[in-house]
A and B are shown apart, each in its own frame.
Chain A
């Protein structure tokens, strides 16, 4: 097995552990964070703070470099424009997030926990992704 596969698996484990530990994988906790007008639970704001504090030095290091420490191509996004697809797509995503309390990572983790409702959400999400990718391919063909 390629060593990048092993490191990606370890990264996935740590990422999922973080989601489960933080409460991000609990839709009720997510919705309590999004409910500013209700009985607000600010906890999940701190998830982003903790994540960025740790990730920021790594992304600063990566800027301007061409290769990773394992000599893989460093693929950082290059676009900086704010266009309609970015904003409209993100608004649609946010609406779905606010309806169910799941974003993609936590949905996969909760699927791993065997939650039937998470499986249903994840299948719908993957269907949406596939449908959109097919549509885009047709539209640009």
Chain B
């Protein structure tokens, strides 16, 4: 392992993380709901009565961010190198996996770990492990 110090951005990572934590705290303390993005999107698709409006509003908030950002500054880089077949396969895996596993980076990784849930710790270790392993296989074994 070598650390890429030139790419290391500790301040924006911590500040961005703090904003994510703040958003999760607000949704919990005010709305009484968990800020789990896959749960929110899955809930919209399932149209549960009385639970769709807040979920749509949250998702619209996410969608609106780049437009608002552009009013003040240039967007930070969003570099997507994967080709279309990989993106489609990855999207299907993420969609199925997060619903089968009841959560993603936000629901298990941020909210679940913040409430010290052993279930979310197991989920987080599983998806992080699979993420590390997948990148290792793709970049170092297949050399893509």
User: What residues make up the interface of A, taking CB atoms closer than 8 Å to B?
Assistant: 2, 4-29, 31-32, 34-63, 67-70, 72-77, 79-82, 85-105, 107-115, 117-118, 120-133, 136
Extra 4 A-B pairs, beta carbons < 8 Å, given A90-B124, A96-B94: A22-B15, A38-B135, A91-B127, A128-B95
Q: Which of A92, A105, A121, A129 meets B87, CB within 8 Å?
A: A121
User: What residues make up the interface of B, taking CB atoms closer than 8 Å to A?
Assistant: 1-4, 7-10, 12-35, 37-38, 41-42, 45-46, 53-55, 57-69, 75-82, 84, 86-106, 108-119, 122-124, 126-136, 138-140
Q: Which of A57, A61, A101, A118 is the most central at the interface, judged by chain B CB atoms within 10 Å of its CB?
A: A101
Q: Which of B35, B62, B105 meets A112, CB within 8 Å?
A: B62
Are the CB atoms of A108 and B59 closer together than 8 Å?
yes
Q: Which of B59, B97, B116 is the most central at the interface, judged by chain A CB atoms within 10 Å of its CB?
A: B97
Please give, as numbers and ranges, the residues of chain A lying within 8 Å of B46 by CB-CB distance: 133
Are the CB atoms of B12 and A100 closer together than 8 Å?
no
Please give, as numbers and ranges, the residues of chain A lying within 8 Å of B58 by CB-CB distance: 8-9, 11-12, 15
Q: How far is the CB of A81 from chain B (nearest CB, A)?
A: 7
Q: Which of B79, B106, B114 meets A104, CB within 8 Å?
A: B106
Specify the main secondary structure of chain A where it touches its partner.
helix
Are the CB atoms of A90 and B127 closer together than 8 Å?
yes
Are the CB atoms of A129 and B99 closer together than 8 Å?
yes
The 10 A-B residue pairs with the shortest CB-CB distance in the complex, in nearest-first order: A12-B61, A128-B95, A22-B16, A89-B101, A50-B17, A94-B130, A124-B91, A98-B134, A54-B21, A96-B93
Are the CB atoms of A68 and B28 closer together than 8 Å?
yes
